Homo-oligomer: A and B are copies of this chain.
Amino acid sequence: MAVYTEVTDDALAAFLEGYDIGRMVAFRGIAEGVENSNYSLRTTEGDFILTLYERRVDPADLPWFLGLMEHLAAKSLPCPLPVRARDGANLNPLAGRIAAITTFLPGVWPRRPTVAHCGPLGAAMARMHLAGEDYAPTRANALGPQGWPPLLARCGDSGDAVRPGLTGEVRTALDATLAAWPGALPRGHIHADLFPDNVFFLDHAISGLIDFYFAATDLYAYDIAVCLNAWCFEPDFSFNITKSRALLRGYQAVRPLSAAETEALPVLCRGAAIRFLLTRLYDWINTPDDALVTRKDPLDYYWRLRFHLQAGSAADYGV
């Protein structure tokens, strides 16, 4: 639920004067998104999203994110297209923040992902990977494997308050996962956070991929591993291999996986589960009780990790 920064009418009017997108018709805060403030903006020319970047986003990364979105949108990927102001800038100051206007995408994110969502998701992710191949700038994945040990260290022993023994279990799993981490797999630009609330569907087809603010240059197959975690577990944390199979088939219909990528799926899935477990644990212990955001339970990813730890091979994911 995200409107952290209020924008006054005067500030908004002055901001919009820099753009060639008509006069304002409506402006409403959007309840979705956790990291930034998002507004739905309607003008006489159409519908847009206004995003004010909040503290967690490094302003130095913004040109890379927006450049990637522009690159992908130009290749007809259904992602938000940053709108440039009259002076050509796609990032401008507003209400003490840096802000961007992007195009509005139709559709609805699936509150209850089904098998029918997973095939189109896999295909769209593969198209995104291919479309990004000739976007030259790179961005290191701050929340990739090398970021996990310091994140665990910053959590101290706080995991044990969430579940006795959690810190030790995660440390053991992390050590083993990093030792087995594949180095030579195909790399490129990945979304790295393609959860259901970042994927819009309309009439059973994908109509939007949004929120590229964790995107980075990393292993393509790691992006798949994030999605296997995010889309293929049921509310009781049981793994749904039918969803996984649909996701992987959808992906491979567009970009076939190499044998090495397929083999690496279990360890990549372990890593992805650890990544979300750790960031949720860190947020859990660092979110003030009166914050406006709902804290997400780190154990959701502990149970996923347990599945991945017992998965012997890619066959357990339906490949």
Contact = CB atoms under 8 A, between A and B. Distances in A.
Interface of A: 1-3, 6-10, 12, 23-32, 40, 42, 104-108, 110-112, 200-203, 289-290, 292, 294-295
Copies in the complex: 2
Contact of A294 (B23, B289, B292): B292
A119 to B, nearest CB: 16
Which of A9, A42, A108, A201 has the most CB atoms of chain B within a 10 A radius of its CB? Answer: A108
7 contacts: A1-B1, A1-B2, A1-B29, A26-B202, A27-B108, A28-B30, A28-B31
Contacts of A108: 9, 12, 24, 26-27
A36 to B, nearest CB: 12
Nearest to A108: B27
Given A28-B31, A31-B1, A7 B202 contact: no
A37 to B, nearest CB: 9
A112 B10 contact: yes
A79 to B, nearest CB: 15
A169 to B, nearest CB: 27
Contacts of A29: 1, 30-32
A219 to B, nearest CB: 31
Contacts of A6: 111
B8 A31 contact: no
Contact of A1 (B10, B25, B27, B292): B292
A234 to B, nearest CB: 14
Contacts of A23: 203
Contacts of A31: 1-3, 28-31
Contacts of A12: 108
Nearest to A113: B9
B9 A28 contact: no
Contact of A40 (B3, B40, B292): B40
Contacts of A107: 25-26
Given A1-B31, A292-B1, A292-B294, A25 B202 contact: yes
A229 B108 CA distance: 40
Contacts of A32: 3, 28-29
Contacts of A112: 8-10
Given A1-B3, A8-B112, A42-B106, 19 more contacts: A1-B1, A1-B29, A1-B31, A3-B31, A3-B32, A6-B111, A9-B111, A9-B201, A12-B108, A23-B203, A25-B202, A26-B105, A26-B107, A28-B30, A28-B32, A28-B40, A29-B31, A30-B30, A30-B31
B289 A7 contact: no
